[in-house]
Amino acid sequence: MDYEVLMNGHVKIGESAPSFECSSTKGKISLENYKGKWLIFFSYPEDFTPVCTSEMIAFAMAYPYCQKINTEILGLSVDSLAAHFAWIEMIYQKTAIPILFPLIADANGEIARKYGMMTNSVSSSKAIRNVYILNPRQQIKAIFSYPMEVR
């Protein structure tokens, strides 16, 4: 699937990021909370999976440095807040690495669909792996997309 097919009808580089307000592991948040900062906004398919866990740990380890350079991290999946909290606790218990940035609970996939993180041609119930880099004016500066699994 080429880039234009994947992104048709969704966000594109140079555009303003779609706004949202939602529940997260850090309470209610909105895109507006990140105005004036760079933002690494990523999606992943599911809590408790080995690959997603390793990605979460990598983001957690990078988070202190990101904050020093005026950059925040924000994760999203369609899992519930209860699942996010249980997963964060499991990661901490097994690794002693805290997940200090918010994880969005996008149970109905509304935000994921706005951003093109979820498309019916790939999955109607899970977000694919995407990373969006937003500048301080909340414009999309980079998009990385990769599949839920490689076979």
3-class DSSP assignment, residue 24: strand
3-class DSSP assignment, residue 19: coil
Which one from 11, 31, 40, 52 is the annotated catalytic residue?
52
Asked whether the beta carbons of 43 and 59 are under 8 A apart, the reply is no
Q: Phi first, then psi: give them for residue 40, nearest 5 degrees.
A: -100, 110
The answer to whether 52 is a known catalytic residue is yes
Q: Phi first, then psi: give them for residue 22, nearest 5 degrees.
A: -160, 175
Q: Which residues are catalytic?
A: 52
